[in-house]
Amino acid sequence: MKNILKRYSVFVIGLFFLAAGIVLIIHSALGTTPISSVNYVLSLNSPLSLGTCTFIINMLLILGQFWLIRGHQNRQDTIEILLQIPFSFIFSMFIDLNMTLTEGLHPSGYVMSMILLLIGCIVQSIGVVLEIKPKVVMMSAEAFVNYASRRYNKEFGKIKVGFDITLVTLAVIISLLFTQSIEGVREGSLIAACITGYIVSFLNKKIITRKTLYKFTSILK
């Protein structure tokens, strides 16, 4: 039981870093990540906060997962999908918390914006590693891609690329419909999409190793 609590604690800490990284990238004013592009555009064009929009999109993705496993549903899949609901709520709260904590953060000039973007990518990558290391539950976007790849017998990576492109395309369409201009998608979106995977791989293999994580979780005794 103690080991399970440690794993979930690391996962929740990872969600906080993931949320913080996304918020920093948004504050860079160079765009946002593909996974948060639709949420961000909706929040800009509605009275809803970014966290609330994120939660709504996550719930839609969870419904999508149930649709993807129709006809092949089992108890394990159902539990794994339902577990995403409370963690999606926590993640959404972390998004709004970080938006509040950084509301006065406005980089002056393009260079500072780029630096903030890179910092955001690093922080987000730390969150991704801490999220996947404990192997407790997948967040709704990754889980949706996972079930889609299983349903259609396609590689996870290929489905993920198509999924990200779809999200960015939807964000652009929604933005054009509301404002006749493109919001939330800029060069920073492409940079974040290109480098985050490499940063995650480096951190996973060299910095946040299982040994390092074991030493960290020993503090939680």
Report which of 44, 76, 77, 42 is spatially closest to residue 58, judged by C-alpha positions: 42
Residue pair 133/18 in contact (Cβ under 8 Å)? The answer is no
| Interatomic CA distance for residues 24 and 168, integer angstroms | 19
Task: Output the pLDDT for position 122.
Answer: 92
Going by C-alpha positions, the residue among 146, 156, 163, 27 that lies closest to residue 80 is 146
Q: What is the reported pLDDT for 76?
A: 86
DSSP 203: I
Separation in Å, CA 190 to CA 34, 44, 81: 8, 20, 29
Q: What is the pLDDT of residue 65?
A: 94
- What pLDDT, on a 0 to 100 scale, did the predictor assign at position 220? 53
Q: In terms of Cα–Cα distance, which of 186, 182, 168 is closest to 114? A: 186
| DSSP assignment of 95-163 | HHHHHHHTTT----SHHHHHHHHHHHHHHHHHHHHHHHTT-S---HHHHHHHHHHHHHT--HHHHHHHH
pLDDT at 217: 62
The pLDDT score that the predictor gives to residue 215 is: 64
| Tokens encoding 133 | 């290391």
212: Cα separation from own chain's centroid = 23
Q: What is the pLDDT of residues 13-54, one digit of tens each?
A: 999 999 999 999 999 989 888 889 999 999 999 999 999 999
pLDDT at residue 184, rounded to an integer: 81
Q: Which residues of the chain have pLDDT under 70?
A: 1, 209-211, 213-221
